[in-house]
Each structure stands twice: as structure tokens, then as C-alpha cells.
Amino acid sequence: MIRALDVLVAGGGIGGLAAALALASAGHRVTVLERREDFTEIGAGIQIAPNGFAALDRLGVGRAVRQRAVLVEELRLMDAVSGERLTAVPVGERYRRRFGHPYAVVHRADLYTPLLDACRAEGRIRLLTGAELTAQSEEPSGRVTVGTADGRRHEGDLLVGADGIRSAVRARLLDDGPPRPNGHTIYRTLLPITDVPAHLRSDAVTLWAGPGYHLVHYTVAGGASLNLAAVLDDGAAEAVSALPAERAAVLARFPKLAATPRALLELGRDWRRWVLCDRDPAPRWTRGRITLLGDAAHPMLQYAAQGACQALEDAVTLGALLTGAAPADLPTRLTRYESVRRDRTARIQLLSRRMGTELFHPLGPAADARDALLRPLTEDGLHDRLAWLHEEQPLPAP
């Protein structure tokens, strides 16, 4: 009889908890090591496409997330300067029939909390906080050991690095330096929907594209809040995260806006600022009995709205491939996990970069070319272009 594996998962975010659930469902014992003192998810809105919901269903939390989500009827692309509607992707009933799942938006906590609740209810999962990794190694015995800042030592059959874009596991595994700022600053705020006039509310994800900038907004938290983000291609070269930003400074950085996006921007309060970062696709992210998952493996810009969905796909794929695995199987199974996931995630990383320049921020003739490409597309044509990205991904056999 094959014994259950002892799995160490570094990182208690969306990817780490999803990995823990998938591996526990495969019959293994999982210890999640979270560096913070509690399990929380910071941030505001997040978009979930059908491929993400397919993975959530496989993890057993799809229904709970749907109950908290706001279903979207349309993905709108607007001209931020003229106010003109450029195109829209219908994601209502016809889209849901084709892809088998909805397109929805949630507050990050409304995705994270069902994952956390499911992990707490699973007897095979142990959740540890205050466990920042300080060391990791593979032992001659075939086991993996990690040390944490609180002085504890943990041992398992494998280590999954799901510790985000600045992954400590990746730094020791690949030694490929920090993530790269891409020159875009994003300002985010979350508003009570009661502060938003009725004519500015909608059941769509709306993106206002301008020359070198864009705004995006949609409702979250069951319709109780409006998530608003404004992105500027300003050449920012220093990574910053969640720094407070003065309202007047935000307004001054986006002077050329049509009336509707200007009105939305002026509603914003309590702005915070990030500089977006990503990495080039990695040729590999597995070595021996250590592998990476989610942003630790393939951090991507938010323009394709697939970061969380890809972490969820990673998790269910890893769980499928480790079903029935013995300790001796791990190097081969982990290498196969990487090979199954690498090309798809690399394609989305590169797509996300192109979308920022070619779809959301083009200038002059490039913007005209974008408009000429998008306007003739029918509903079916738009869905066809999204199919490879949004379709449910088949799971590999173990």
C-alpha cells in the first residue's frame, strides 16, 4: 500500500491554500507555512473566468465562491478620451452555456475565505502562521527540510513554493533575481456602492483605454462595493506595494479623461499605489522534490485577468498528478507537472504584457489599428478568441 505523502506548502495565499486542498483530496498530509501572523488576503477586486470556476469546483469550493460573486454580463472596452464604446464581450447566458461556467468578479476575500474555511475543515491540512522560510534543502534520505524564522524545522517528502511573486523558495531554487517592474503604476481604491451614483453603476467589467493609461471598474462584495483601479504607463522602475496616494495627486496624473471616467476617478478616496512587476517565463521551476506554483512560478501582469485562475489550475493539476504517488515517484511527477503547465502559463504571461501595450495603452496609429481589429468581431468571434484562455482545462492522468 502506498503511504500518504507529507507535503510542505510555503505560502498561505490563494495558490497555497488551493494546492493544500488539491493535495489533501489526493490523500496526502499537508502543512501550510505562512510567514504572516494570520491567514488573510489583502487587495480588492479579482476576476474569475470559467477556467477558474472549473478549478474551484474540483476543489469543492466553487459553490461557496459563486454565492459571494457578482456575475458579469459584459466585458466593455471604452475610449477613455472620447467616451466612445470600442467593443464589448458578452459573457451572459450564451457565454456560460459555451464555457460551462460564469465570468464573475469578487473581492479577493470572497475567494480566499472559502478556500481557507475548506482547509480548516480538512483533517489532513495543518495551517501554521509566523513561519517565514529561512532555509530549504533536499536531504540524502530523499526528504526535504525547511527552517523558519521562529526556529522551527519542518520535514516532508516535497516542498511546493506558493509564496508569491517574491518567492523565497524560488530565490533559493532558481537564484534568478527579483521580479522586474514593468513601468506601470496602478492606483487602487474600494468604494461603498452607496457613494456611486446610479448612472455610474453597471453589471459589467468596464475598462477605459487611453494613450498610456487606463481605468477599470466593477462591483464586488455582492454588489456592496465598487472596485476602481487606474493604471499609468509612467516608466516606474522601483517596485512599491500598497503605498498611500493623495487623491489630488491621482487626479492630476490622469488629466485627459472623458466625463464618465473622470466622474468615477473623482469618487475615489483612500487610494493606494503599486508598481506592477512580472518575470520572463522560466525555462523550468522544478528541481528534484521542490517545485513552484502560481506567482512564484509564473508571475503575470493583471491585464489578462488570469493570475488567480492560473494558480488554481496549477493546484488541481498538481493534485491530479500526485494522486497515488509514492516518494520515489516525486521527481518524475513534479517534472511532468511543470511540463503540463509551463507552455500555457508562459503564453498567458506574454499575452498579459502585450495586452497592456497593444489593447489598453496604444498611442495614435496603434490605437486606430486596435479599433479596426476589434470593431468587426461578432459575439461568436470574440468568444472564439477567448476560448483557449477561458475553457476548462483537462486534468492529466497520474
> Catalytic residue positions?
218
Which element (helix H / strand E) includes 214?
A: strand 213-220
Alpha-carbon span 375 to 360, nearest angstrom: 15
Q: Are 70 and 227 in contact (CB under 8 A)?
A: no
Greatest distance between any 2 Cα atoms in the chain: 68
Alpha-carbon span 275 to 377, nearest angstrom: 33
Q: Are 189 and 270 in contact (CB under 8 A)?
A: yes
- SS3 at position 188: strand
Cell digits of residue 228: 476602481
Q: What are phi and psi of 251, to 5 degrees?
A: -60, -40
Alpha-carbon span 278 to 187, nearest angstrom: 17
With 0-12 / 13-18 / 19 or more C-beta atoms within 10 angstroms meaning exposed / middle / buried, residue 188 is buried
Show the DSSP H helices in 122-219 as ranges: 168-174
